[in-house]
Amino acid sequence: MKKLHSMILCLLIGFLLFSVPSPKVAAALELLVSGACSFPPSHEFWASAVPVLRSAPGTVLLHVVDDGGRNEPWKIEVRLQGVLPPGNTVLSVRRTGTGQGFGWIDGGLAFVSLGERPVTLCSGSGDRMQIPLQVKFSGVNPSTPSGELRSGIIFTVVTQP
């Protein structure tokens, strides 16, 4: 009889241990980038005192997802990867809207110059989708070497304490 009680007690303890919900593991935020950047030629390009090429606003979109309702604060860092632009040319990016979703977004409305080191573009919290960006290429002049620019823009989402 004592053996039967021990077995029932072990089964009850086992049932309780496996039925207790385990703490949820926090999923990492994900950053998705969609769209493509192109610089349409302008007939007035060389007539300008300061020639600038700009992509249309919103041709590149950022999506910060998988917050899981935690409204976790984050920031978007951006940098160049690959060959840097020649001479005094500068590649810059800015946010042109708030996108959609829960939480908030702040900063990044002014162009941020890109280099090899990461710089903060904007910050926010929660899931935000379809955050529109604009890319600018400036500092071009007739003596700028011609050729293809083989650089990538790297976006990173960083959670904040």
Domains and CATH numbers, the chain: 25-159 (2.60.40)
Q: What is the pLDDT of residue 9?
A: 34
Q: How many residues would you count in the chain?
A: 161
pLDDT computed for residue 11 by the predictor? 32
- Confidence (pTM): 0.75
Name the band, by pLDDT with cuts 50, 70 and 90, for residue 41: low
Residue-averaged pLDDT of the chain: 78
Q: What are phi and psi of 11, to 5 degrees?
A: -65, -40
- Look at residue 60 and tell me whether its pLDDT is greater than 70: yes
pLDDT digits (tens, 9 = 90+) for 78-125: 999 987 777 778 899 999 999 999 889 999 999 999 999 999 999 999
pLDDT value at position 44? 67
Return the pLDDT at 80: 92
Question: In this predicted model, which residue has the larger pLDDT, 34 or 1?
Answer: 34
